[in-house]
Amino acid sequence: MQLGQLVTMRMGANQRRLSNGAAAQRYTYQDLLADLAAPTAVWPTADQPGTCHAVQSDDLVFSLMRNRLAPVSPRTVGKVLTQNFVGWHLTTTQVTPQYLCYCLNQATVVRQQLERLQGGDPTAKLSLSRLQHLDIPILPLTEQRLWGRLYFNVERQRALRAHLTTLQTQVLQGLAGQVTPL
């Protein structure tokens, strides 16, 4: 099924047109990575007030620069999307948001389509019309939930390992400052 049949898409705002307050609250690629690793298993559906470029609790965010998709976590609700991001809102119950993230971020068949759409140039930004024509394999909902849960568990473990490495490095650096040479 084509992606345009599953989601509605809206482009982020031009960064130059954002007010200083909105620019301070913009959604970044670091936010996207944190949202992917967020331990939240709940997908809230309450609407959040904000601008047309602000992300809401049931949105997904796609990075046009890195071709990565993440759900919006409670930490990033209300942040403003810039032109490097596209906000997605599911319009059907035929696909789960977790499975859609798995498909766009990991599934070989979808990743190959993304590469073809970019024409071999990984720095080329995709257009909304091209994204809407991506073919997403639709599995039964029980299988989608399993794939989505597995994908997010792996992402969470990856983030926890990276955090552990950072903490270990900080401890070692702290100890190195306390050791006196012989």
If phi > 0 it is left, if psi is from -120 to 50 it is alpha, else beta; for residue 119 that is left
Answer for the pair 27, 63: CB distance below 8 angstroms, yes or no. Answer: no
Burial 83-115 (b: 16+ CB within 10 A, else e): ebbbbbebeeeebbbbbbbbbbbebeebeebee
User: For residue 182, what pLDDT is reported?
Assistant: 55
* % the chain with pLDDT above 90: 48
User: For residue 121, what pLDDT is reported?
Assistant: 76
Which pTM was predicted?
0.80
- In the sheet with 60-63, reading across from the earlier edge strand, the strands are 7-11, 85-90, 60-63, 68-71
pLDDT-flagged residues of the chain (< 70): 17-24, 39-52, 122, 179-182
**Tens of pLDDT along 70-92?**
999 998 998 999 988 999 999 99
User: For residue 21, what pLDDT is reported?
Assistant: 57
Sketch out the chain's domains with CATH numbers.
Answer: 3-176 (3.90.220.20)
User: For residue 26, what pLDDT is reported?
Assistant: 85
User: For residue 42, what pLDDT is reported?
Assistant: 44
User: For residue 125, what pLDDT is reported?
Assistant: 78
Burial 126-135 (b: 16+ CB within 10 A, else e): beeeebeebe
Q: What is the dihedral angle through the alpha carbons of 18, 73, 125, 131, rounded to the nearest 10 degrees?
A: -120
* DSSP SS3 for 127: coil
